[in-house]
Amino acid sequence: MVVPICITILDPAGPSRSTCGYCSEPGQRSAKKTSFSTGSFVSQLSCPVYMDMLDRGWRRSGEYLYKPNMKKTCCPQYTIRLDALTFGPSKSLRKLLGRWNRYVLLGESSGAQSAKQKGDSAPASFVDALHASEATFLKPGTSSKYRFEVTLEESTFTEEKYSLYHAYQRRVHKDERDTPSSFTRFLVDSPLVRQPIEYPSLPPPHLPKNYGSYHQMYRLDGELIAIGFIDILPACVSSVYFVYGEKWEWASFGKLSAMREVSLAREIHEAGVEEMKYLYMGFYIYSCPKMRYKGEYSPSFLLDPESYLWHPLEAWKPLLETHRYASISFPERSMGAITNGEADDSSSEDEDDHTYPLDLALKTLPESLWDEVMIVSSASNGQVYVTPASRWTHWKHEGYQTKVVSMVEALGVELAKAIILNP
């Protein structure tokens, strides 16, 4: 049997900085307004490698991968994940779900609550409640006012998807600049290489067969009403983006979709994929109140930027209240003390030094590592030739070295040995 190997080749872009999009929000507390990150382009990315990158604070936007420089950036972005196996919806989430189901099954309009529903007992689990109004889950003979369908499909471009996205951007973000090609770059193109999910036995037909990028399509009587853009990876479902039509503002689709995504992770787990356990919801930005909604689901955990261990969200709150940059594993490394609602970063010596500390990074990393980090030296006729960084012609060229070293630092030693860099 031939075992296919998926090689990940990253094209590091080096450290970068940009004007922060969160500081402009009212209620923010940083005055620095500059966001720092390390990024990389990638055309082919293995799902297990991306899973490990998420656990090091990385995230993708189309075919670009980036990791915030948490110590320097004005609004630190903590990776947040929700435990799908122990998640239980709050009373208000259950209400939203019940309201949507009554709308689909009975045609009851928003806000209406019939007397007979008030006394109903809740279904056995929220997974059952979630599927209760879906056409393919209805018991034979059950009538439904509308036909509600949720399906997973590969991430491809259609005019129908683009027009829903375009209307959403205009309405919710007051943004009219998007085009079919910017939509494609952001939400259709994906470097993730599909790879079979190894279920121990045949899974239910609505579950995905492969890891990779998907569009979760919500249809009512055939009309596309919402799309969830998600990645399905070895240990998690990762939310990328979500859009819905204007008619459905009343339904709180953002919350319904979060429940549907957490349920998907749980159902894959229950179909026998032991390691599938979480919904990754992207970044949690404590310094921007508008972005704290991701913490409304429980139990949630934030990734520690020093140790890369996960700690419960509640445990973070006291430290995030007092420091711009916080670590629970190493509290003494927290910095940017908050006084009068503003982060005081005068103590950090490199505040105005925006150059990458190459010498320091080279000293911190073991020298033998550069015999193991592989670089693309040339490529032709579909063949790729690699060489260890230490023997690479451009290794002593500062510009190239900065790209490689900053990337290795951001990936961590183990992950850096598992991929190939093409600076």
Smallest gap from Cβ 116 to Zn ion, in A, equals 50
Q: Which of residues 10, 20, 188, 373 is near Zn ion by CB under 5 A?
A: 20
Nearest CB to Zn ion, comparing residues 23 and 227 = 23
Beta carbons of 106 and 145 less than 8 angstroms apart: yes
Q: What is the largest CA-CA distance in the chain?
A: 77
Nearer to Zn ion, 22 or 284 (CB): 22
Toward Zn ion, which CB reaches closer, 23 or 259?
23
291 is an interface residue for Zn ion by CB under 5 A: no
299 preceded by cis ω (within 30°)? Answer: yes
Q: Report the amino acid identity of residue 416.
A: A
* Spatial CB neighbours of 270, under 8 Å, sequence gap ≥ 6: none
Rounded least distance, CB 291 to Zn ion, Å: 10
Minimum distance of Zn ion from residue 30's CB (angstroms): 5
Contacts for 70 with CB less than 8 Å, ≥ 6 apart: 57, 76, 77, 78, 305, 325
Residue 237 within binding range of Zn ion, rule CB under 5 A? no
Site residues for Zn ion, 73-102, by CB under 5 A, read: 74-75
Shortest Å distance, C-beta 302 to Zn ion: 18
Residue (28 or 38) nearer to Zn ion, CB: 28
CB 84 within 8 A of CB 301: no
Note whether 375 binds Zn ion by CB under 5 A: no
Q: Does 192 bind Zn ion (CB under 5 A)?
A: no
Q: Whose Cβ is closer to Zn ion: residue 205's or residue 341's? A: 341
The region of 14-22, 175-183, 192-200, 253-261 touching Zn ion under the rule CB under 5 A is 14-22
What character string, x for contact with Zn ion (CB under 5 A) and - otherwise, covers 36-75? --------------------------------------xx
Identify residue 301 by its one-letter amino acid code: F
For residues 22 and 244, which CB has a smaller minimum distance to Zn ion in the complex?
22
With tokens 């599938």, the residue in question is 276
Instruction: Compute the least distance from the CB of residue 39 to Zn ion, in Å.
Output: 17
The pair phi, psi for residue 161, each rounded to 5°, is: -65, -45
Distance CA 137, CA 135 (A): 5
Instruction: Kindly state the smallest distance separating residue 67's Cβ from Zn ion, in Å.
Output: 16
Q: How far is the CB of 15 from Zn ion (least distance, A)?
A: 17
Q: Which residue is nearest to Zn ion (CB)?
A: 20
Give 17's strand partners: 36
The residues, any chain, with a CB within 8 Å of residue 405's CB and separated by 6 or more, are 358, 361, 362, 365
CA distance 58 to 283: 10
One-character DSSP codes across 333-391: G-EEEEETTEEE-TT-TTTT--S--HHHHHHHS-GGGGGTSEEEEEEETTEEEEEEGGG
Nearer to Zn ion, 75 or 265 (CB): 75
Min dist CB 285 to Zn ion, Å, is 8
Q: Which residues contact 317 (CB under 8 A, 6 or more apart)?
A: none
Backbone angles phi, psi at 388, to 5 degrees: -65, 145
Cβ 33 to Zn ion shortest distance, Å: 6
**Residue 74 or 404 having the CB closest to Zn ion:** 74
Between 37 and 133, CB nearer to Zn ion: 37
Q: For Zn ion, which is the closer residue by CB, 23 or 262?
A: 23
**Rounded distance between C-alpha atoms, residue 374 and residue 420, angstroms:** 5
Count of residues near Zn ion by CB under 5 A: 5
The region of 12-20, 149-157, 216-224, 298-306 touching Zn ion under the rule CB under 5 A is: 12-20
Name the minimum Å distance from CB 325 to Zn ion: 12
Residues of this chain that bind Zn ion (CB under 5 A): 20, 22-23, 74-75
